[in-house]
Amino acid sequence: MKRRFFASLIAMLVLSTAMFGQGNANLSGTWAIDRNATPTGRGAGGINGIVIASTLVIRLSPNDVTVVSDTGSGQTLQTSVYKLDGSSNPVPGPLGWDTTAKASWEGPNLVVTTRRSMTGPTGPMGVDVKDIYSVAGDVLTIDRSMGRVTQKLFYKKGDSR
pTM: 0.80
Task: Please report the pLDDT score of residue 38 as a whole number.
Answer: 77
Pairwise CA distance, residues 129 & 127, whole Å: 7
- 52-101 residue pLDDT tens: 889 999 999 999 999 999 986 666 899 999 999 999 999 998 888 999 99
What lies within 8 Å, CB to CB, of 153 at 6+ separation is 33, 38, 52, 141, 142, 144
**pLDDT tens digits, 12-57:** 433 433 443 468 999 999 999 998 887 665 445 567 778 888 999 9
> For the chain, what are the domain ranges?
24-157
Least Cα distance to 56 among 41, 74, 39, 71 occurs for 71
Contacts of 32 by beta carbon, 8 Å cutoff, 6+ apart = 54, 55, 155, 156, 158, 159, 160
Residue 20: per-residue pLDDT: 39
What confidence tens digit (pLDDT) does each residue in 109-135 have?
Answer: 999 999 999 998 999 999 999 999 999
pLDDT of residue 17: 36
Q: Write the CB contacts of 76 (distance below 8 Å, at least 6 apart in sequence).
A: 70
Whether residue 141 has pLDDT greater than 50: yes
pLDDT at 21: 47
Q: What fold, for 24-157?
A: Lipocalin (2.40.128)
